[in-house]
Every structure is written in structure tokens, then in C-alpha cells.
Amino acid sequence: MAEFVQLLFNGLVTGSILAMAAVGVSLVYGVLRLVNFAAGDFMTLGAFIAVFLSISKGLPLIFSVIVAILGICLLGLALDWLLWKRLRDNKAGTLALFLVATGVALILRQSILMIFSSGSRKFAINETATFGFLGAQIATSQLIVLLLATSAIITLGLFMAKSTIGKDMRAFSDNASLAAVSGINVNKVVRYVWIINGILSALAGIFQGMVQGRFDSTMGWTLLLPIFAAVVLGTIGDAYGALLGGMTLGLVMEMSTWHIFFGGIPSSYKPVVAFATLGIVLLVKPEGLLGVKARSI
């Protein structure tokens, strides 16, 4: 029982972080048709900026987090202006978008190494502080991360459902040309997508850094594949699906280490478990968990 509660809790923490990042990736794909390979490195950069300001410069943590979020939002907007807008105007194909996104990911990761130098980082939080709950040891920092991530996701959900720009975004993901014809400001939607993505990626990166304890420049890339798995699992381009996919994968990844499953799958195989789950779901339901089968004409 204690082990179950522990793994359930770990799964919820992992799942909420995955879900945040996956919603960002899914939103970017839904509106821009761009598979953002740099998403993981956006997260890493956010965590590095926050840790740099709060630890090396001694600034308050909350201030550092806000600067990190602003930084990632600006990065997204700048990249859109520099690259993605041009590629959209050129009507670039999938391959071009994939390769440019990979190029961005490589440059970002190497820049992080160059600016902040290699080696691992750590936030000034006490991750060993725990309390007992139903026999499980719950880390206070993880609980705070879980609460913050959940409230961020709920806020985003409300924003997407209630605000005009949220409705515009959903309209755009459903049918871009129809949305544009009906007078939705394309540039405004694109700007908001990058801002929301910036907030989500930076927070997800910082939260992951806090939960992990120590992290280095490969943190985001390691997480990118489970994030993609979550996005595809929940039907690519569907923000609510990404949320569901992220939570599902987080739970599956953590639960797989439970000893009742073949004595527990070694934790180093967690990414493999994430993809095996994705593979099984895609075989049974190729359109994703929430997806609808495309109607053929």
C-alpha cells in the first residue's frame, strides 16, 4: 500500500510536469503545424536562467522564475520572427520545419553549455524534507510543485475555454484557413501561442529541475521524448489530449517500477515504458486517446 501511494504520488508529479510541457508542444503544433524539437531545450534554458539568477546572483527565487519565463517567451517570439514566419511564408514542408527545429535545439543546447558551462545545477530547496502520508514519504517540494503545476494547467484550461484569444486559438487549431477567413487575427494568435508556450516550458523546466534535485544541460532533451509521447498519445495538436496524455504517461512510467509488475521494471527503462505505452495505444487507436477517426470522402 505504502509503495502504491508513493508511486501514485510520484506519477502525479511527473505527469503534471509532462502535461505542462506537452500542452505547450501541442498548442504550437495545433496552430503552427510545427513539431517543436527545441521544446526540451526551452525547458532546460528556463531552468538554467532561474538557477543562475537565484543561486549565482542571489536574487529572490520568485523574481528569477519570472525573468526565466519572460526570457523563454521572448525567445519563442524572436524565433518566430526570425525563422518560423519566414518558413510559413515560404510554405516550407514538414522536413524543412523538422530540420530547422532540430537546428534550433542543437544551437540552444550548445549555447547553454557555452554560457553556463557544463556541470550540474541545483535550486536552493530542501528536497529531503518529507512527511509521512499513508505510509509513504511525500517530499514537501514535490507536493508544492504538484499543486503549482496543477493550478497552472487549470488556469490555462480556463483561459482556453473562456477568453476570446483562447477561443481563437482553438478555432485556429481546428481549421486554420476557416479561422483566418472569419477574421481571426493570425499574428495575434501566433504571438499568444509563443507566450503561453514560453510560460509553460519555463515553468515545466524549473519544476523538473526542482523535483530532480540536480540537473544538467541534457535535462530537457531526455524529457522531450516522453513529452512527444504524451502529445501523440493525446492526439497531436489537442491541448486537452496532451494533458490527459501527460498524466497517463507520468503514472504509467512511475507505476511500472512497482514490484508487482514483473518485480518492477528498472527505473532506467522509464522512457522505454513511455514509448511502449504510446506504441500500444497507437496500434489499438491510431488517432490517439481523444482523437476522432478522420472521415474519408
Does 135 bind another protein (CB under 8 A)? Our answer is: no
Counting Cα atoms < 13 Å in the Cβ hemisphere of 238 gives 17
Q: Which of 124, 181, 260, 283 binds another protein (CB under 8 A)?
A: 283
Q: Is 177 in the site for another protein (CB under 8 A)?
A: no
120 scored as a contact of another protein (CB under 8 A): no
Output DSSP code: residue 52.
I
- Tell me if residue 236 falls in helix, strand or coil: coil
* Span 19-58, contacts to another protein by CB under 8 A: 35
CA atoms within 13 A on the CB side of 103: 9
Task: Give me the helices (H) in 80-213, please.
Answer: 85-89, 94-116, 140-162, 164-174, 176-181, 186-212
CB 242 within 8 A of CB 230: yes
Residues 145-174 that bind another protein (CB under 8 A): none
Return the H-helix or E-strand segment holding 130: strand 130-133
Q: Which is nearer to another protein, 77 or 87 (CB)?
A: 87
Stretch that binds another protein, among 171-179, 188-196, 208-216, 262-270 (CB under 8 A): 262-270
Give the residue with the Cβ less far from another protein, 168 or 254.
254
- Contact set with another protein (CB under 8 A): 35, 83, 86-87, 90, 92-96, 98-100, 102-107, 109-111, 113-114, 118, 225, 228-229, 232, 236, 266, 268-269, 271-272, 275, 278-279, 282-283, 286
